[in-house]
Amino acid sequence: MQAASTIGTSLDFYLFVSFALFTIGAIGAMTRKNMIVLLMCIELMLNAVNLMLVTFSTYYNNGDAQIFVFFTMVVAAAEATVGLSIIIMAYRNLKSIDIDMYNKLKN
């Protein structure tokens, strides 16, 4: 009864959205071959985890998780910068952004 009347504003709704976002990001990371889109899918998964942390932080009325989300965003910004510069360098060498072209370590 409680769950039915508060379906939109309850904790489990945001948790459901967060799980679904994480799943979509994981599926994207497995299906796409473009390296930039792969990085974007990783950002999507990071945001899903951030959403879940904020949800629990609001639920328990505790600010530590929100500070953790802040640091996650900082690390994500640094990661995106370095990842994109690696992609630019790789594109200069092979003139392709397909992740399957970069299997030189295999042989």
Q: Is 105 exposed, middle or buried (0-12, 13-18, 19+ CB in 10 A)?
A: exposed
> Any contact of residue 37 with other proteins (CB under 8 A)?
yes
Q: Are 25 and 44 in contact (CB under 8 A)?
A: yes
Please state the closest distance from residue 104 (CB atom) to other proteins, in A.
Answer: 17
> Any contact of residue 42 with other proteins (CB under 8 A)?
no
Q: Tell me how far apart the alpha carbons of residues 107 and 93 are, in angstroms, rounded to a whole number.
A: 18
Please state the closest distance from residue 7 (CB atom) to other proteins, in A.
Answer: 7
Please state the closest distance from residue 103 (CB atom) to other proteins, in A.
Answer: 13
> Any contact of residue 94 with other proteins (CB under 8 A)?
no
